[in-house]
Amino acid sequence: MQAQGCQQFYFKYCSTFDSTAQGNIGPVLDALLAELGETRTVISPALPVNGRTVYQGYLFVGEQLLNESGMRHHPVTPMEDAHWAA
């Protein structure tokens, strides 16, 4: 894509990246940045239209902290920590 002149890239990460203490978002972004020859990027973990927001490093579902919402009981990926460490 770079060879064809593309200057902007969009990487959509999994909607449940916030559900686990470990995951692949960091390593995937590192690999993408390395491939593009870049050192930094902008990520946006919030999607207000779906009630997902970040405030002072904490993820919210509506007005509730993520780990106090119904998502804490997700059957596959329980979301037990609302703190999003950048």
**Span 35-45, pLDDT tens digits:** 999 998 887 77
Q: How many structural domains does the chain have?
A: 1
Is the torsion defined by CA of 19, 22, 26, 27 positive or negative? negative
CA proximity to 55, closest of 30, 75, 21, 83: 83
Q: What is the CATH number of the domain that holds 43?
A: 3.40.50.10840
What 3-state class would DSSP assign to 53?
strand
What is the band of 59 on the pLDDT scale with cuts at 50, 70, 90? confident
pLDDT at 3: 87
Percent share of the chain, pLDDT over 90: 13
Question: pTM score, two decimals?
Answer: 0.54
Contacts of 69 (CB under 8 A, 6+ apart): 61, 62, 79
List residues bridging with 55 in a β-sheet.
58
